[in-house]
């Protein structure tokens, strides 16, 4: 999916919500556990009930890998089930020497069929480059993450700037606004205005809304640009909205709530012409 | 495998060689391609012919993931096939928020049964902590990597030190010499003496010998400590030593050559008492 198509989806649906499928086998409703592939069944129902209210899905590979190759099979089935209208993100945080990153890019873009993959910047340009070389695919580089540990390295000072600022600046020269986004944690709203100065036109993937405590309004006030420029992800707040048989229905309701708030925010910011 | 057992293996075999199973389906001998799982068949034969000359195997997850869930199944079969005497490293370069890193740790240490996993430090302590909490398992944190891109961030100056030095120093306080190693690329031999000052007792995983141009002698002269303290990995130089039907035999010969050189280096350094 290219930038124009992504923006098209956002304007059509009037939201910029991604639903995070961090599906933990131990956390899904008990009544689903007797089916052959409970995680896939759970994901399918979540997708059915939320697709109307979101523009994409983010799959956190960690939760699938914990189940071994069967988990990878579930991940493949889930990606295949996501409607082609929706943006598909592998939250995989890969990054290795060029030769290996090329294999990861193949894994996520070709074999699994994702539109985007999250990548860790530590190893530098040649570890990121192979992901950027795919047409109409996206590299979502870790910028400033929402966790406590961000203070250990990301927020360290290097001369005039912090490490994550150096990542944003350098990586902006490696890719373009057509193939590169950044992960900016929702708990970093206080820094978003500053971050927008470095990268005014890029999309940001913003995880951490809901369960991790980030505020949608604050992020949007500071982070929206003229093309929207935000993909806000909520995982647990949506997929675990209920642990009963109504889990999918409740997930849909929570997603609809986020979508409605996003609709208002897009309208207030003048990005969407209709409410 | 704990530190004492690892050192025991090194002293018994008189080498510190890991064989890197970066097995690329497109690079394995043509005559193997008709079997059901060519990559597993290739790995099996490489393991059979090299196990005598190495103390461990490093599996680069990228090459398996490029084949999707079938590739993960091949990886599982390969780990299962590695003798229990050998140290099993997942070169996976994972790292995410605590909740997700916990799932990755489960995937590699429990589900797949590796002894060690490589982890990227960018997201800081809480992204590394879940890996460190497994008894007799190892976190191998990226320190200074062998690729060109290391100059982009790892070698940047933060006040009195470079970023990778800050990673070594901070992480040394998170883990111990019993559960934490560092990746130090073989092309960084010029910096090894300095790196040893920060972390005198840690093991280093050193990839990049052979095809990537690192010199075994130079690395060993500067990197060996009284417990050996090095795991040197060679991948392509061993597994692709021949592209013919003799590939396993040739791989064994190249591994034996490295092992013999390591034996001499251990003896010269006074670590091994017998040649």
Please answer whether residues B101 and A60 qualify as being in contact, where contact means their C-beta atoms are separated by less than 8 angstroms: no
For testing contact with chain B, the best of A152, A172, A188 (most B CBs within 10 A):
A152
Closest Cα of chain B to A184: distance in Å? 12
Give residues with Cβ within 8 angstroms of A223, minimum separation 6.
A184, A189, A192, A195, A196, A204, A206, A229, A230
Which positions of B are annotated as active-site residues? 93
At B239, list the tokens.
Answer: 């597994």
Question: Would you call B107 and A66 a contact, using CB atoms and an 8 Å cutoff?
Answer: yes
Contacts of B156 in chain A (CB under 8 A): 158, 163, 166
Beta-bridge mates of residue B182: B141, B204
Nearest Cα residue in chain B from A110:
B66
- Please give the DSSP secondary-structure letter assigned to residue A25: G
For residue A240, name the pLDDT band (cuts at 50, 70, 90): very high
This prediction has a pTM of 0.97
pLDDT at B210: 74
Of B108, B126, B152, the CB nearest to A124: B152
The stretches of A67-215 forming alpha helices (DSSP H) are 68-81, 98-105, 125-132, 163-174, 189-198
Are B66 and A125 within 8 A, CB to CB?
A: no
Distance between CA atoms of residues A88 and A113, nearest Å: 8
Q: Provide CB contacts within 8 A for B178, sequence distance 6+.
A: B2, B3
Are the beta carbons of A66 and B103 separated by less than 8 Å?
Answer: yes
Tell me if B103 and A65 make a contact (CB, 8 A cut-off).
yes
Interface with B, mutate which of A153, A161, A164 (most B CBs under 10 A): A153
Instruction: Please tell me the predicted confidence (pLDDT) of residue B187.
Output: 87
Q: Chain B: residue nearest A236 by CA? A: B99
Tell me the Cα Rg of chain A: 18
pLDDT at A211: 65
Domain residue extents for chain A: 3-268
CB B208 within 8 A of CB B184: no
Q: What is the pLDDT of residue B268?
A: 95
pLDDT at residue number B248:
98
3-state DSSP of chain B:
CCHHHHHHHHHHHCCCEEEEECCCHHHCCHHHCCCCCHHHHHHHHHHHHHHHHCCEEEEEHHHHHCCHHHHHHHHHHHHHHCCCCCEEEEEEEECCCHHHHHHHHHHHHHHCCCCEEEECCCCCHHHHHHHHCCCCCEEEEEEECCCHHHHCCCCCEECCEEHHHHHHHHHHHHCCCCCEEEEECHHHHHHHHHHHHHCCCCEEEECCECCCCECHHHHHHHHCECCECEEEEECHHHHCCCCCCCHHHHHHHHHHHHHHHHHHHHHHCCCCCCC
Per-residue pLDDT tens digits for A193-233: 999 998 999 999 999 887 666 789 999 999 999 999 999 99
Give the closest-approach CA distance of A120 to chain B in angstroms.
7
- Structure token pair of residue B49: 């012919």
Do B156 and A163 make contact, defined as CB atoms within 8 angstroms? yes
Residue B19 C-alpha, separation from nearest chain A C-alpha, in angstroms = 16
> Looking at residue B159, what is its pLDDT?
86
Mean pLDDT of B182-200: 92
In this prediction, residues B84-110 reach a mean pLDDT of 97
CB–CB of B156 and A151 under 8 A? Answer: no
CA-CA distance, B31 to B38, in Å (whole number)? 9
Distance linking the first and last C-alpha atoms of chain A: 25
What digits encode the pLDDT tens for the residues B124-155? 999 999 999 999 999 999 999 999 999 999 99
Q: Distance from first CA to last CA of chain B, Å, rounded?
A: 25
**Interface touch A60/B96, C-beta < 8 Å:** yes
The confidence band for A187, taking pLDDT boundaries of 50, 70 and 90, is: confident
Whether A214 and A206 have beta carbons less than 8 Å apart is answered as yes
Measured between CA atoms, the residue of chain B closest to residue A22 is B100
Contacts with B147 from chain A: Cβ below 8 Å: 97-98, 123-124, 126-127
Chain B: residue whose CA lies nearest to A68: B111
State the fold for domain B3-268.
TIM Barrel (3.20.20)
Residue A146's nearest CA partner among A113, A187, A178 is: A187
**Which residue is it, tokens 């559960």?**
B179
Contacts of A101 in chain B (CB under 8 A): 62
pLDDT one-digit tens code per residue, A29-77: 999 999 999 999 999 999 999 999 999 999 999 999 999 999 999 999 9
Count of C-beta atoms within a 10 Å radius of residue A237:
18
Q: Which of B68, B122, B127 sits opposite A111 (nearest CB)?
A: B68
Say yes or no for a CB contact (<8 Å) between A72 and B72. yes
Checking if the pLDDT of A150 tops 90, the result is: yes
Report CB contact under 8 Å: A123, B149: yes
| Residues of A involved in catalysis | 93
For B95, the closest chain A residue by CA position comes to A93
> For chain A, what is the mean pLDDT?
96
Helices (H), A51-124: 61-65, 68-81, 98-105
């Amino acid at each position: 999916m290219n930038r124009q198509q992504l923006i098209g989806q956002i304007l059509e649906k009037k939201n910029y919500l991604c639903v995070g499928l961090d599906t933990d086998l131990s956390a899904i409703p008990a009544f689903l556990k007797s089916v052959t592939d409970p995680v896939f069944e759970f994901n399918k129902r979540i997708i059915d009930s939320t697709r109307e209210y979101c523009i994409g899905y983010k799959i956190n590979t960690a939760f699938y890998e914990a189940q071994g190759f069967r988990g990878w099979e579930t991940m493949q089935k889930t990606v295949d089930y996501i409607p082609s209208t929706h943006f598909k993100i592998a939250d995989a945080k890969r990054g290795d020497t060029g030769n290996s990153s090329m294999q990861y890019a193949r894994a996520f873009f070709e074999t699994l069929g994702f539109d985007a993959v999250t990548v860790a910047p530590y190893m530098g340009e040649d570890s990121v480059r192979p992901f950027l070389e795919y047409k109409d695919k996206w590299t979502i580089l870790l910028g400033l993450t929402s966790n406590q540990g961000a203070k250990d390295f990301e927020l360290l000072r290097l001369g005039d700037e912090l490490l994550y600022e150096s990542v944003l600046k350098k990586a902006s020269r490696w890719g373009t606004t057509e193939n590169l986004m950044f992960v900016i944690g929702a708990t970093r709203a206080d820094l978003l205005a500053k971050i927008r100065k470095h990268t005014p036109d890029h999309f940001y993937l913003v995880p951490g809304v809901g369960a991790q405590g980030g505020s949608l309004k604050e992020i949007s006030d500071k982070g929206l640009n003229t093309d929207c420029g935000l993909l806000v992800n909520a995982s647990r707040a949506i997929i675990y909205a209920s642990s009963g048989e109504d889990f999918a229905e409740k997930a849909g309701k929570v997603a609809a709530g986020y979508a409605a708030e996003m609709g208002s925010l897009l309208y207030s910011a003048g990005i969407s012409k209709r409410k």
